[in-house]
Chains A and B, each alone.
Chain A
Amino acid sequence: MKHVVIGAHLEKRDIEPLAEAIPVADLWLSGMPIEDAQPLGDRELLLRVAQIRAALLDQGTFIAIRYGFTAHGESDAAVKCAPHIERWRRVLHDCRGMVEMTLKVAAAAPRPRPDRHDFDSGAAYIRALHDATRAAEVEPEFRRAVDATLAPLAVKHRWSNRDTASLEFAALVARESVAAVNDAGAALKRDFASVPFLLSGPWPLEVFADDHE
């Protein structure tokens, strides 16, 4: 038996009864038990974890652990998570009551994605991909509007280039501000009907979970 680890939490009560609570130092991991032989690359398992993750966020803010990490019992989890505990504790205390919202927007003039087969070396391919990704830009007027309407609602915010065709605005917001963020998103949808974007959330601490390093 092993656990698919979903998140790191401050309080045990934020986890139960939705998932199993695994102690690591003075913090807790939420985990879903599965058989050792169960493959992780399974759509149904992914969707079950996603559902639990969403329900856990309703109970309290937590740090999302990227899917794929498993632990065999408390001692295994403690060893693997030991280097992160201090930072997690800081993040969880500082961000208690906050969630993330993300806005994904299509690049204004995306460059074609480099084709792996056009390159002799992996390094050259990665460099070309990196250049194409960094070249992606949002329509300036839309970006200004996001910065003027969504950013002021956030405790922290960040733009990042996701790939050659899209960028993302991530915002760390108080739970009480989620409705205002959604309202601002609806206004953007009206004002920029031709710009393809997706505002989603609330999400657990994902983008900003590493900021305290």
Chain B
Amino acid sequence: MSDQTEELGILETLDHLLDRGVVIAGEAVVSIGDVDLLYLGLNIVLANVDAIIRTSQPKQIK
């Protein structure tokens, strides 16, 4: 596996880890690099601004 491919794999993996999945109330705040993190109410929302916008869009399910 080339370095570039490996790095792409890590980025994609971390994107899924940090940007998908269900959010549960918690008590932790994580700051990684200079990514914008938001803290909303009692729920920890570990996501960047783009993720917040995306989840505010109406769902289209087929």
A residues lining the B interface (CB < 8 Å): 5, 7-8, 40-41, 46-47, 49-50, 53-54, 63-70, 80-81, 84, 102, 126, 129-130, 133-134, 151, 156-163, 198, 200, 203-204, 206-207, 209-211
| Partner among A63, A161, A211 whose Cβ is within 8 Å of the Cβ of B54 | A161
Contact bitstring B16-33, A, C-beta under 8 A = 1, else 0: 111111111111111110
Q: With the chains together, A156 CA to B24 CA distance in Å?
A: 24
Contact bitstring B32-50, A, C-beta under 8 A = 1, else 0: 1000000000001011011
Whether B4 sits at the interface, judged by CB under 8 Å, is no
Whether B60 sits at the interface, judged by CB under 8 Å, is yes
Q: Return the chain B residue nearest A125 by Cβ.
A: B49
B17 touches A69 (CB 8 A): no
**B residues less than 8 Å from A68 (CB atoms):** 18, 26, 28-30, 44, 46
**B residues less than 8 Å from A126 (CB atoms):** 49, 53
A40 touches B24 (CB 8 A): no
A67 touches B30 (CB 8 A): yes
Q: With the chains together, A40 CA to B30 CA distance in Å?
A: 6
Knowing A151-B62, A158-B60 are in contact, say whether A130-B21 is a contact too (CB < 8 A): no
| B interface, size bucket | 35 or more
A10 to chain B, nearest CB (A): 15
| Partner among B8, B14, B56, B59 whose Cβ is within 8 Å of the Cβ of A46 | B14
Q: With the chains together, A25 CA to B1 CA distance in Å?
A: 43
A64 touches B22 (CB 8 A): yes
**A residues less than 8 Å from B59 (CB atoms):** 158, 211
| Partner among B29, B30, B62 whose Cβ is within 8 Å of the Cβ of A158 | B62
Knowing A126-B49, A160-B57 are in contact, say whether A69-B28 is a contact too (CB < 8 A): yes
Whether B12 sits at the interface, judged by CB under 8 Å, is yes
Q: With the chains together, A70 CA to B44 CA distance in Å?
A: 11
Knowing A69-B44, A151-B62, A159-B60 are in contact, say whether A133-B50 is a contact too (CB < 8 A): yes
B53 touches A53 (CB 8 A): no
B31 touches A206 (CB 8 A): no
A162 touches B26 (CB 8 A): no
A66 touches B23 (CB 8 A): yes
Q: With the chains together, A151 CA to B37 CA distance in Å?
A: 33
**A residues less than 8 Å from B44 (CB atoms):** 68-69
A157 to chain B, nearest CB (A): 6
B17 touches A160 (CB 8 A): no
**B residues less than 8 Å from A81 (CB atoms):** 24
